[in-house]
Each structure stands twice: as structure tokens, then as C-alpha cells.
Amino acid sequence: MSVDTKPTIDHLRAEVAAHPLWYHTIELAPGVVTPGWFDLRQIVERMPWPDLNGLRCLDVGTYDGFLAFELERRGAAEVVAIDIADHESWDWPAGVRGRGTEFLADIAGPDKGAGFRIARRALGSNVDRRELSVYDLAPERLGEFDFITCGALLLHLRDPLRALEAIRSVCRGRFLSAEQISPLTTLLHPRRPLLDVGPALSELRWWTPNAAGHRRLVEASGFAVERAVRPYAVAFGPSHPRAGGGLRRALLTRLVARGDGIPHSAVLARPRV
């Protein structure tokens, strides 16, 4: 089957089942839904979207491509999606790089872009996926974009400010940043920007801000926040191991984000002149 040929339903089901790890829960065809770790379908309308008709758009850290395909669905004229090429390119902490790379290769398979390609073909999408780190974004490499999304990536980065400044360098319009937040510090310090140092390096979690901290990171990188939405919870998908957190975290998430799953905040920003 060629890259651009749409698969039959039976072939698609077989492809979905054979793929070792789906990060996103995506409906690829009637009755065919990827068993992702996270399901954004119920919260996507709560994110602060502008009108995307006719715009050139970028999705940063696309993984299986849920947000990239959403940009296309909302009328973008062109969508580019970037992600790192392989598991070795993650921002691994010192001392765990080899072990972490082997761990991800074992659970997710060696081909980081396989899920995206399956989804792109099934959806008949024209999204252009490029293997590129957020740190390497620059106008001379990809040009500039009218709208950029970045979902739940900053917590995995050693230097989120450097990443946001790179995004700023290619943004000529608006930027939607959606990030996992700490429910406890969001509840206790709603106006004070804070960052928690991630305890779970096995999850490659460097920083978790509260909602105010997320906004401050975006502002510190040269953006002016135009709109922020109330924290929301991204639901676990069918294959998520649901490890860690326990009852206390679940209760905090329901209190802060009014839902079950992982608490997030989202802001819509524009480059500050």
C-alpha cells in the first residue's frame, strides 16, 4: 500500500492493533479509534481557538498528530507538524539516557513517527510532518506561521524558556500553549507563578507549573497573553497505565479542573511587539 492510499477498514484495524503505543486517542474511521494514552476529544472545544481559516499553522511536538489534524479540520490552509526523530533525542536527565531510550523503544517501538503516518493515511490528511526539535525552530528552516499549537510538551523539556523563544521566532500571529499543571499549587497559589521539579524522571517530567506559572513562562518568552481558559482535565485513554497520583491527586484534579485525568491550562497569546 502506498503512503497516500487510504486503507480499508480491516487493514486499518490491523495497523492500529499492531502499533505498540498510541499516545493520542483518535477516531480514524467509523468504529476505528486508536487506544491512546490520552483522549483530547472531549476537551478540544474548551481550548481558546481563533479562526484558522486560510492560515499557515504549526503543531509543535505532534506525536500521533491529534492537534495537527485538528488544525486541518478547523480550516487551516497548510499544517506543518514537528517532532523529534527518535527516542534518543528526548531531553534525558544525566545518568538515565541509555536506560530511558531502551525503555521507550521497548514500550513504543523504535519508529517514533509510525502512529502519525497510520493516522495521516487513514484520515486522508495533508499535514506535513518534519523531524525537528522545538529548540531548532527558526524562520530560515520552516518560515513563519500564522498560528502555532504546542500541547503538553514543556514539562518534558530541560529548557522550556528556550523552546518558547524558538516558537516565538517563527510566530507571526497567535500561539496556543496547553500544558499539564500542578493541581495542588494551582489551588493554593492561584496568582503566584510556581514550577514544581518533576520527581518522576522515568516519565521524563522536568517541570510542572501551576496555572499562573504556565502563563508566566509564555509571557517571559516574548508573548502577550490574550486569553486564558479555566483549567480542564485531559482524560486518560483506554491504554493509559494510570500509574501514580492516587486518590488525593484525583480529588485535587476534580477540584481544580472539574474532571478526571490530567489537569491542564491553556492560553492564547500573541508575540509582544
Q: Report pLDDT for 45.
A: 96
Q: Report pLDDT for 3.
A: 52
| Banded model confidence at residue 1, pLDDT cuts 50, 70, 90 | very low
CA–CA separation, 126 and 192 (whole Å):
42
Q: Which residue has the higher pLDDT, 247 or 37?
A: 37
Check: CB of residue 69 under 8 Å from CB of residue 119.
yes
User: What average pLDDT is seen over the chain?
Assistant: 93
| Banded model confidence at residue 94, pLDDT cuts 50, 70, 90 | confident
Read out DSSP for 159-196? -HHHHHHHHHHTEEEEEEEEEE--HHHHHH-SSS--EE
Q: Report pLDDT for 241.
A: 82
| Banded model confidence at residue 202, pLDDT cuts 50, 70, 90 | low
Residue 2: pLDDT over 60:
no
Taking the domain 9-271, which CATH number applies? 3.40.50.150
DSSP state of 247: H
Residue 165: pLDDT over 70:
yes
What residue segments make up the domains of the chain, in order of their start?
A: 9-271
pTM higher than 0.75, yes or no? Answer: yes
